[in-house]
Each structure stands twice: as C-alpha cells, then as structure tokens.
Structure 1
C-alpha cells in the first residue's frame, strides 16, 4: 500500500484530498499543528477506509518533524497554508509558515527516498495577487490562462503575496534542480466553494460563502465585492480534490502549474444560488481551465453545484 502524505489535510480542501486518496486505496498521513486539538481532525476518522489514516503533529518550520512526516511517502501533497482574510501579524501568521515552510519542505524532499510525486496546492494568487479583481493589464471580458505572465501587487492581500512568493520559490527550485528523482506539479484553484466535511468554524471558504449568502460585509474588502458586484471565479472543492489526485498520479507533468477554475458569476448571482434561486445573469469564463481538462482529464462542475451543496 503506497503512502500519501497530505500537509494541511484537516482543512476545507485538505479533507477532500484525504477522502480521495483513502478511496483510491492509499495509506494517508495527515499533518495537524496540534494533536491535542482533536476537534480539528476527528472528522477524518469518520471517512471510509479511515483505518488507513495516520495523524501526525507537524509544524512545517520544524525540520525534524517534517523529515519524520515525509519518511515512507511516495506522494506528498503540500496544502498547509490556510487562507486567512484577517491577519494581525502577516510575517508570523503568513509569510514565515508559507515561504519558510516551503523552503524547508523543498530542502527535505530531496532526501526522501522512494518519493515519486510532489503536488503543491498554490492559489490563483500565484498568477494574480489582485484576485478576485483583474490584474491592471486586463479588462472585463478578458481571460487569464497559464500562459499569462504572473502579476503581483504589493497592495495585494498578505495571503496572496505569500502564496505568490512561495510559488516563485517552487519554480526557482525546479529550475535549479533539473535532475530530480521525483516530479513536482502545482495546482492553483480560484475561489473554492462547497460544503465542508467537518464542522470546523475556521474555514475561510465556508465563511466567505456565508457572507455571500447573507450579504454581510465585515470589512471594506468584502464590501467592495457587493458595491461593485464583481465577477468571482468559482471551483468546486470536490473538483479540486480530483485535480490534486490526478496531478499526483499522472506522469510527465513535472513543472506544470494548472489553473483550477470553473465559471465566474457576479456576486449578486452567487447570493441567489446560495439561497437556492436561479441566477439572473449568465456565467463567464475569466480563468481558463483548458490545460487541466486536457492533461488531467477533469470535467469541472458548474458553479451552481457547490453553491447549492453549501446551501443545503
């Protein structure tokens, strides 16, 4: 039985990744920052095949812990950066664990024998830190694909900046190490929507859907969404898990970064669908998913699928 290590496997996206790998017959190692906080990961023990699940305590900045976690893994999925809108200290809460954690990880995976695949769950911020707004060189009606040059603004949210820099770190590592014994592939999801597998209350994706559903703006950033009725790109969390699995089990895609996106709707229409109503407008495609459909074989769900599932 092959072992898949999933860093950040108890979160919103991570839980679906764990579910997928367990279903596919893998033994799954999952990291948690604190083993004593069982409410963070107990839901994973209710998944089918959970007898093949092992929970590890891991601080990604702690090299000995990380080295112990990686031992024996043939696949490692790194999605250990929680999406946070409200940050008091960007350096300690975001930049250090995201960037230093990535650097530590890249240093240690080179020493992990038997490793076949590494999958990074980056973010749409890896190509545009202004998300959900367009980068300044794009206008409404334009589309964004993997061929577009990545855009970073120092005015962007600290989370977006951290994810952008971390992805640049990965790309530089790939260029500097042309003869690795394993493949590295990245997936970059847009706004991930759907229903959580846990009852945790710290999921930003769940929180954002709650805000959209109830037209609540706790800060000027979210208020801007409503005031301008912006287009927001959506992808189903279940589709993200399928993409991660396909990226981990498809050979010959070393160095690729796949945009993971379905449709974009105006926030007013997202509000309607989250309340089980039909949207008034039509969806558009802002972030293209051609590469993921072609090379990973993904058929993306329409945006209403995860939004309706959340509303249940």
Structure 2
C-alpha cells in the first residue's frame, strides 16, 4: 500500500482528493494547521477506507513539520495554500503561507528519498491573475491555453498574485534542479464548483456558489461580478480530484502545468442554473482543456453538473 501526503486535504478540493486516494487503496496522510480543531477534518473519518487515513499537524512555514509529514510518502499533493477573497493583511494571510510555504516545501522535498511524484494544485491565476476577466491583450470571445504567455497584474487580487508567484517559484525550481529523483506536475483549475463533503463554512468555493445562487454581494469584488455579468470559467471539483490523481500516477509529465476547465458562463446564467431556472446564454470555452483531456484522461463534466449538485 503506497502512501500519499495531501497538504490541504481537508478543504473543499482537498477532501475530494482525499476521498479519491482512499477509494483507490492508498494510505493517506492529511495535514491540519490546528490539530485541535477536529471539526475541520472530522468529515474525512466518515469516508470509505478511512482506516487508512492519518491526520497530522502541519504549518507549511515549519520545515520540521514538513519533513515529518512528507517522510514515507511516495506521492505528495500540495494544495495547502489559503483561498480567500476578504483579506486584511495580504502579506501574512496570503503571500507568506503561499509563497514561503512553497519555498519551504521545495527545499524539504529534495531531502526525502521516498518521494516519486509531487503534484501542485496551482490556479488559473498561474496563467491569468485577472481571472475571471481575460488577461491583458485578450478579448472575452477568444480563448487561452498553456502555450499562451502568463499574465500578471499588480492590480489583481492578492490571492491571484500570490498563486502566480508561487507557480513561478515552482518553475524556477524545476529549471534549477534538472536531475531530481521525483517528478513535479501542476494542475491549474479555474473556479471550482460542486458539493462540499463537509459542513465547514470557511470554503470560498462553496461561498461563491451560495452568493451566486442567492444574488448576494458582500464585497466590491463580488458586486463587480454581478455588475459586469462577468463570464466565469467553471470546473467540477470531482474532475479536479481525478486530474490530481491521474497526474500523480502518470510518468513523463515533469514540469507540465495543466489548465483544468470545463465551460465559461455569465454570472447571471450561473445563478439561474443554481436555482434550476431557464438559462439565457450559451457556454463558451475560454480556457482550453485539450492538454488535460489528452494527458490526464479527464472527461470534463459540463458546468450544470457541479452546480446542480451544490444546489441540491
């Protein structure tokens, strides 16, 4: 039985990834920033094969904890960066745990002989920090894939900037360490939608679906999405889990970063789908998913699937 370590394995996306590896017969380690807050990971213990699950304390800024967590793992999935839109102190809330955590992880991982594969859960922000708006130089009716030049703006949300810089850190590491004993593959999902496996109320992904469904705008960013009827690229959380799993098992993907995206819809139509109402527009594919389909074998669900699962 192989062991996989999933940093961030109890969050919205991470829980589905944890479920996938348990289903496939892996021993799974999941990190908890505060082991005393059992409500954040208790739902994982109800998953099938949970007897093969271990919860360990980990703050990515702590190298000793990172070493303890990663040892004995043949696969490590790094999805432990915070995703939040309301930010008071970008440095301490986003930049430090995202960028410094990535730097620490890359430093530690080179010293663990058992690791065969690392999968980073990056973000569409690795390609476009303007998300959900198009990057500079692109029109909404165009499309983008992994061959396009990544776009970053200092005017973008701090979360997007942090994820862009973290991905650049990974790419720099790969170039400077051409002879590692393990492969690194990244996946960059767009807006991840679907039903949560827990009752946690701190999921930004679930929160956005709730806001779209009920047409609530608690901050200027969400209000802007409603005001402009922005087009939102969506991917099913289950497809992200499958993409991470497949990327971790397939060799020859070192240095690749795959966009995980299904369809793009205007916010007004997303609201209608969440409320089981008739939609007005049509799906558009801005972020092309050909590479993920071909290399990772993903058959992406249309956006209506995760939205209905959340709504129901």
TM-score class, shorter-chain normalisation, is: over 0.9
1:126 counterpart residue number: 126
TM-score normalised per structure 2: 0.99
The answer to whether structure 1 residue 239 and structure 2 residue 225 are counterparts is no
Asked if the contact 2:186–2:257 (Cα under 8 Å) also holds between the matched residues in 1, the reply is yes
2:172 counterpart residue number: 172
Asked if the contact 2:231–2:265 (Cα under 8 Å) also holds between the matched residues in 1, the reply is yes
Q: Partners of 2:206 and 2:263 in 1: how far apart?
A: 18
TM-score normalised per structure 1: 0.99
Q: Partners of 1:219 and 1:96 in 2: how far apart?
A: 24
Q: Secondary structure at the match of 1:94?
A: helix
Q: Partners of 1:105 and 1:89 in 2: how far apart?
A: 23
Deviation at 1:82, TM superposition (A): 2.2
2:36 counterpart residue number: 36
Report 1:182-201 matches (<5 A). Answer: 182-201=182-201
Report 1:1-312 matches (<5 A). Answer: 1-312=1-312
Deviations 1:41-60 (A, max 9, x none): 00000000000000000010
Q: How many residues align?
A: 312
The root-mean-square deviation of aligned C-alpha atoms, in Å, is 0.6
Q: Partners of 1:305 and 1:276 in 2: how far apart?
A: 12
Deviations 1:20-75 (A, max 9, x none): 00001100000000111000000000000000000000010001111000000000
Q: Partners of 2:2 and 2:234 in 1: how far apart?
A: 32
Deviation at 1:223, TM superposition (A): 1.0
More moved, 42-51 vs 80-89: 80-89
Asked if the contact 2:82–2:98 (Cα under 8 Å) also holds between the matched residues in 1, the reply is no
Q: Partners of 1:141 and 1:92 in 2: how far apart?
A: 37
What runs of 5+ residues in structure 2 fail to find an aligned partner? Answer: none
Deviations 1:239-292 (A, max 9, x none): 000000001001100000000000000101000000122322110000000000
Q: Partners of 1:301 and 1:311 in 2: how far apart?
A: 16
Deviation at 1:181, TM superposition (A): 0.4
Q: Partners of 1:220 and 1:33 in 2: how far apart?
A: 30
What runs of 5+ residues in structure 1 fail to find an aligned partner? Answer: none
